[in-house]
Amino acid sequence: MNRAEIIDLLIIYPFIPAGMMLFTLFCKTVFKKDISIFTTNLSVIVQYFMGGSIFLFFFNNPSKLVFPLNGFFGSITLMFDTYKLFFLAAYMATTSIVLISGHINESFRNYQERILLLLFFTGCSGIIVSGDMFNFFVYYELMIICAYVLIGSNKKYSASLKYMIFGALSSIFLLSGIIVNYLYTGMLSFPGDYSMPVLACIFFILSFMLKSAIFPFSWVSTCHSAARVGFSAMLSSFTLITGIFGLYYLALPGLRSNGMILNDILIIAYLSSLISAWNVFKAVKIKKMIAWSSVYAVSNAIILLMHGQIFYSFVYISAHSIYKTVMFLVCRTDHRLSKVLFNLCVMTAGGVFPFMIFLLKAHHNVFEESLLIIGSFLVMAGLFRVVPKGDVRLTDNATWVFLMFLILNISLFFFSTRFIDFKAQLVDYNSFISRIYISFVILGVSWLTAKNRRAQVLYKETKEFPMRSLNRELAVSIIMFLILILTFGR
């Protein structure tokens, strides 16, 4: 394919689910026929093949493509580069696994929910191709608003309200950053060719840290665990990582010379990694464990990003999207492959040898390495308590999910070797062998620890006091948020 054809694909890509949504509404209104199952599945398939074409073009021609839709100032701009391949891979992996598992039909049970899902897909895919702040904000809002309603459709209204409040706060900071940047620079395009004011960068940092549920904004476990399984997988596997997307493309370009703020973000990311790992270890509800492990993964990806290991960070989030989607789908199924798949996902999350994340973890000094070892132990010791069983069907498609899991991980490894020289880790052979030995020790200790705590895991929903939980968690986060504002204000 040539450059002009790729530009056409980038323009059309987010409008595939939007067009399917309009066609579904037309058929329902005019012909009284509900074709939402067909159009939703078709949207995923068409986007998968279109995304594959975009992927192959930029894989073979690593470059940055910026295309304003017209010649006017402030034009809507499309932008795609090599780094966005990893976000595209994460989106395609998440939606394709959910499709193959049958959970698009299982988790979105009526016409209205599938219409909202198509709009959600529009927002997610639009974020990937956006090249200007206004376009990004519109798609970002569309994604978040659909998420509010889809969480509430499972009758978890307090979780939906909580997601709405934190989503609104994130949007306020994002919009504030865009306004400040425009007032100072007169630009709406992604930074790169111009200098962004530090105040705008701080607003963007607050927005995307809030979106990614990085400490102290610990809202994710209640919200992600409240949705149905298929949508929980999408929330944890893709929407959470849009915070990293925003940090890299909007916040960090203006802070590369400000080492103090970057060090502060690194410290917060380490705190978030340890706190989320501890929450995985002590949680007793399966979906909350998995949701907290998503925050752990995002925190580790931000740590890599702050150390300047951009490709390592983005490969990490792509791997996260694969194993986290599968983990949500199999955690409450009775199929014989469920236990195998879940344990493979746990070892991937813990980053033990020979899984992909083992090769990606940063080891900059003994202290940081120790923190990562502690985090790996807590996450695996928490998740190994789960023995998949329950009420969610995955009988007919479990084999396909297993094959998809293997194919995507192998493909990601070979794809990442184009950008990361993994052989360089073998230069210090003794150190590499020591890391393998330590990873096996952590694996064994975490397995033994989990084996004695499995009785604590709850497979049935328990009665909650939603408003009490909502108020407590909101209060803690808002207090910490005010402290951050006062700190930055000084």
pLDDT digits (tens, 9 = 90+) for 318-352: 999 998 888 888 876 766 777 888 888 888 888 88
Average pLDDT over residues 451-466: 54
Give residue 145's pLDDT: 87
Whole-number percent of the chain with pLDDT over 70: 83
Whether the predicted model's global pTM rises above the 0.95 cut: no
- What is d(CA 356, CA 405) in angstroms, rounded to the nearest whole number? 13
> How do the domains of the chain map onto residue ranges?
3-489
- Between these two residues, 78 and 214, which has the higher pLDDT value? 78
pLDDT of residue 469: 46
468 falls in which pLDDT band (50, 70, 90)? very low
Q: Does 358 have pLDDT greater than 50?
A: yes
Residue 490 has pLDDT above 60, yes or no: no
- Dihedral in degrees, nearest 10, Cα atoms 274, 275, 281, 283: -160
> What pLDDT, on a 0 to 100 scale, did the predictor assign at position 123?
92
Whether the bond into 388 is cis, omega within 30 of 0: no
Q: Which region among 138-142, 157-161, 206-210, 306-310 has the lowest average model confidence (pLDDT)?
A: 157-161
| pLDDT tens-place string over residues 138-175 | 999 899 888 888 887 777 777 777 778 888 888 888 99
Per 3-state DSSP, the chain is made up of helix, strand and coil in percentages (nearest 5) of 75, 5, 25
Q: What is the mean pLDDT of the chain?
A: 80
Q: Cα separation of 80 and 459, whole Å? A: 42
Closest CA to 220 of 284, 283, 294, 285: 294
Write down the pLDDT at residue 467: 40
